[in-house]
Structures are given as C-alpha cells and as structure tokens.
Amino acid sequence: MNDFESKSIYQDWSENSLDRDDRIFEKRRISVGEKPSYKVGVVGLGYVGLPLLLLFAEKGLSVCGIDIDINKIEQLENGVSYISYIPDSRIKKVQNKLFFSKDATNLRSCDYIVLCVPTPLKDGNSHTPDISLLKNAIDQVCDVAQKGQTIIIECTTYPGTTRELLVEEINRKGFKIGEDIFICYSPEREDPGNPLYSTENIPKLVAGATNECLKKGVELYRNAVERVVTVNSLETAEFTKLVENTQRYINIALINELKIAAEIFDVDIFESVYAAATKPFGFTAYYPGPGVGGHCIPIDPHYLNWACKRKGVDLSMINLASDINESMSKRVVNTVGKALQSIGKPIKNSKVLILGLSYKKNIDDIRESPSLTIAEQLSSMGADITAIEPYIRENQTIDFIKIKDIESINFKEFDCCLIATDHDCFDYQMIANSCKLLIDTRGRYNKDNYEFIWRA
C-alpha cells in the first residue's frame, strides 16, 4: 500500500509529485493502493471513449465497451477502427482484453463504469445543453449498478450535473455513496490528432463525491495515465473543464476580431501572430479561421453560460465571443462572393471546390465544422459544391456536397477553390498552381505572392 501526502484541494499523483505551498492548500491524506487489474466498462465509444478503452486494455485491464451503434460494435469486433488517427493495429493488439456490446447489462460484472457519451447543444440557436444521452446512459447504468462499483462521468457538462443526475439517482436506488457505490467526475481532455499529447500523457483531473470515491477514481486512472490531479469537489472538476474550453473559445474570438482589424490596416494577421509569438512570455499564439468547430470548443462555453443563467447571471464575454466566432463563416461566404464577382461570376451556378470538411486539420471529425456551415450557405445561394476530404469515413455522406478524391479533381473546372481545413497532406504548391481563384481561410499562403489568392 502506497501512502501519498496530499496538499489538498489540489492534489497531484504524478511520478514526481510537485510540492505545494501549505499556506495555500489545506492538507488532506489519501491512501492509494498498488496497481491491481480491474474490469472496466466504457459507455460510448466515440472520440473520447475509444481511446480510453484502448489505453485501459493496453495497460492490461479487461474492458467492456458499450455503444448503441451496432456498426461501431461490429467494426471493433473485427479489429477495425472508425477513427482516422487510431490504427486498426491498436485494436487488434489488445482484442483478447476487449468485449463489445449494445447491452448495458454486461456492465454488472464491471468494477468501474466510465460514461463517455456526447453532450451536445439542442437544435436551433438557443445554446441550451442537451444532456439526454447522458441521462439515458445514467439511467441504464443505475438500473444495473452493483455494490462495490465505481461510476465515473467523463462527459463535459455544467457544474452540478454529476450530483443532480448521478448522485441523486444512486441515492434513490438505495445505495450509500462512498460505501456501496463510488462516484467520480473526470473530464475528458482529448485533443484529436495531436501527435504530442494522448490520453496517456495528458494529466487526468479527478474528483469524487466522497473521499472514498476519490480514492477509487485515483486507483483506476493511476493504472493508465502518467499523472493524476485531483480537486476538492465534483463541481470544481466540472467547472474546470469549462474554464479550459471557455478560455480557448474567447481567445479564438479575439484573434478572429483582430483579423478584421488587420484587414483595415492591410496587415497580414498571420505574420503578426508569428511575430508576436517570438515574445518569450505573456503571449500565447492563436490563429484566426473560418469559425470554430468540434464537439467541445463551440459548445462547452454555452453549458457554463446556461448554468449561470439559471443562477441569474449572464456571462456577456461568452455571448460576445459566440457572436464573433459564429459570424466568421458568413465573412468567408462574403469573400467568396467578392472574389467571384472580381472575375465576373455570381455565386449562383458557380462551381466551388472546398478543401477540407473536418473542423481541424489531420482528423476526420466534422462535428460543428465551419466548413459545413460555409458549404451549406454557398449551396443555399445556388453554388454547386464539391469537396475534398481525405479523412472522411466511407459511410459519411452530406446531401448538398459531392465528396471526391483529390486524384479525380481537375482544379481548372472550378470557378473558385476554398481552403477551409488545412490538412498537412494537401500539396499546397500544386493547389496554387492549379486553381483559377483561391480563397485561403487558414493563412497557408503569402497572398502578396499570388494575385488570384484571397484571404478570408
């Protein structure tokens, strides 16, 4: 049995734990066991759940994966990955540790159950959280919960969710939390496609409903990740994840607005950011783009704002950032219109080629992608839209977009080419040499070197 002296509301269980100032952090002591083998159930096998499941299996734990998508289950059973940056070989190497099913009753035999289901916004412009999938997952898990199990939520959500939904439901089932059932919250911190950071080496934040719950959560994650950091309450952990993504959302909005200011003074915003980033302190580089996408950055700040509104507080900075970020796709469309007009073409009936549909480069995730918003707006104005997306999955289709391989494209057939997502695999010199008119939303080109390139 290893004993760790913690310096409390903030605790760090890395291999080389950092010393904390006792004047700031109240002391608390938690004993954590050696690394045993657990059977872990992971509910939701998407961009968060699948990497986590594979990491647990690679560390020697037996894992049960649950998902409502039978196609995912069948692919995983055959050792096939449906996420571009996760190779099939990772699944095949640990198949003897994996079991997949749609049936949540298989969770009864698990020591740990980790919920990794999506928490999107409701349809429309209300910016209202949609936690229906999380509620459904909690209901299923609580129906099969057994004494001794630890249930962990990894979904990003508003402060109070774990206590309001999971803790209260477990109490209604007659279990005593911290004795019969253990509850934790540990927000996912995935950065899809990032070659430097993975589930294993990103510090894992953990909070427990009780001290005993916290010990259980730490025990699990210490089996798999390099560093475990704990905070003093479920709400603090929930809030922390929203702080991380809200900060990024607002900084992206700032640089998008500065891009507009740079255009007024005929300044290249990308050159300015590169130059500012040479300052060794006090500046973090953010780059403008056609909008904000993915399942976290454009969504999570609205979870925080919605939760604050319930308490009578409206976070004006989030509202302003939302207005700026959501306006960027319209600015791109306006630039496309001006560029086409410069060669005597209206948007209507123009053939537009969009390069990149995913929300960020080098991945296949198109959720909330600004590329799709731009394509939809152009299509509604009568443009004929074709797209190149090398990371697209075979079963993905989009009604108003023709998706083709780059090898089959004759760039000269298009009135306008638009770089919406700057995948590294694109041959940008070839693209510049092949296009009649090129719109660059990602700063890939020095526009002064090309008369036919427009920045958007």
- The catalytic residue positions are 296
Task: Give CA–CA dist 233/214, Å, rounded.
Answer: 9
Task: Give CA–CA dist 251/285, Å, rounded.
Answer: 9
At 209, which amino acid appears? Answer: A
Task: Give CA–CA dist 377/313, Å, rounded.
Answer: 34
How is residue 90 written in tokens?
Answer: 């990772």
Spell 371-393 as b/e; 16+ CB within 10 A means b.
bbbbbbbbbeeebbbbbbbbbbe
Cβ within 8 Å of residue 154, ≥6 positions away:
48, 49, 52, 114, 115, 116, 185, 186, 187, 188
Is the Cβ–Cβ distance between 32 and 250 less than 8 Å?
A: no
Task: Give CA–CA dist 131/120, Å, rounded.
Answer: 7
Which H or E run includes 4? strand 2-6
Give CA separation, 287 vs 84, 251, 425, in Å: 24, 9, 20
Backbone dihedral region of 343: left (phi > 0), alpha (psi from -120 to 50 degrees) or beta? alpha
Give CA separation, 2 vs 8, 13, 29, 341, 346, in Å: 17, 11, 12, 70, 70
- Pair type for strands 28-32 and 39-43: unpaired
